[in-house]
Amino acid sequence: MEITASMVKELRSKSGAGIMECKGALKEADGDVDEAVTVLRKKGLAKAGKKSDRETGDGAIGTYIHPGNKIGVMLQLHCETDFVANTDNFQDLIKDVCMHIAASKTRYASRDEVTQEDLDKEREIFAHQAKESGKPENIIDKIVDGKIGKFYEENCLLDQPYIKDSSLTVGEMIKQKIAVLGENITVGKFIRYEISK
C-alpha cells in the first residue's frame, strides 16, 4: 500500500511522532492510521520504559487556573535537561497534567506516595463495608484488594484515566511524551487549590 503525505500528516497530528516514525508505523499497519497510532504507542512505551531509570534533575513549575478562578493547580514536572524543560511540548504537558489534577482532585502522584497508615485505614473501611453488606468472610480479602486497586485509580495521578483520553492513564500519556521528547519525565510535588461554598 502506498503511504501518502496526507496519511503521514494525519498520523503526526494524532501522535506527535516524527515523519519517519509515522511512515514506518503506517507501513507496519498497512496504511491503517488508527492501527499505526497503536504501533507508535507500543514502540513509545517500550522506549519510555528504557529511560525510566535516568535522573530527572531539571524541569519546570507550571500552573493552571480553571475558568471562573475557583480552582488552581501548581505542579513541578521534572525532566533531564533545561533544553527539554523549555520546549513547547514539555510546557504543554505541564498544562495538560495541571488541568487533569484540577478536574480529578488527585491526592498522590503515584502509589509510592500512599502511606502505609492511609492504606491500612482504607483497608479497614473496605473490610468493614464488606462485612456490613453480609459478604462471606472467606472472600472479604479479595473484595478489599479489588477496592484498593480502585482507590489507587481514583487517588493516584499516574493510575487515573487521563481526562482528555480515557483509554490512557496519566502515566501512559506521560510515557508517550517521554518517547517523543527523548528524556525521562517524572511528576514532582503538586498542590490543588479550590474555593468551595
pLDDT digits (tens, 9 = 90+) for 178-193: 888 888 899 999 999 9
Q: What is the DSSP pairing of strand 161-162 with strand 186-194?
A: unpaired
CB 168 within 8 Å of CB 34:
no
Q: What percent of the chain has pLDDT over 70?
A: 89
Q: What is the CA radius of gyration of the chain?
A: 20
pLDDT digits (tens, 9 = 90+) for 61-93: 999 999 999 999 999 999 988 898 999 999 999
Q: Does the pLDDT of residue 39 top 60, yes or no?
A: yes
Split at pLDDT 50, 70, 90, the class of 51 is low
Q: How far apart are CA 177 and CA 85, in angstroms?
A: 12
For the question of whether the overall pTM of this predicted structure is more than 0.95, the answer is no
Q: How far apart are CA 8 and CA 20, in angstroms?
A: 9
Q: How far apart are CA 17 and CA 63, in angstroms?
A: 26
Q: How far apart are CA 23 and CA 123, in angstroms?
A: 49
Q: Would the CA dihedral through 119, 124, 128, 131 be positive or negative?
A: positive
Q: How far apart are CA 190 and CA 187, in angstroms?
A: 8
Number of residues assigned to the chain: 197
Report the candidate in 164, 151, 52 with the shortest Cα–Cα distance to residue 101. Answer: 164
Cell numbers describing residue 192: 490543588
Question: At residue 159, what is the residue type?
Answer: D
CB 56 within 8 Å of CB 82:
no
Please count the other Cβ atoms lying within 10 Å of the Cβ belonging to residue 114: 18
Average pLDDT, the chain: 86
Domains and CATH numbers, the chain: 5-51 (1.10.8.10), 58-109+156-194 (3.30.479.20), 115-154 (1.10.286)
Helix axes 5-15, 19-28, angle to 10 degrees: 110
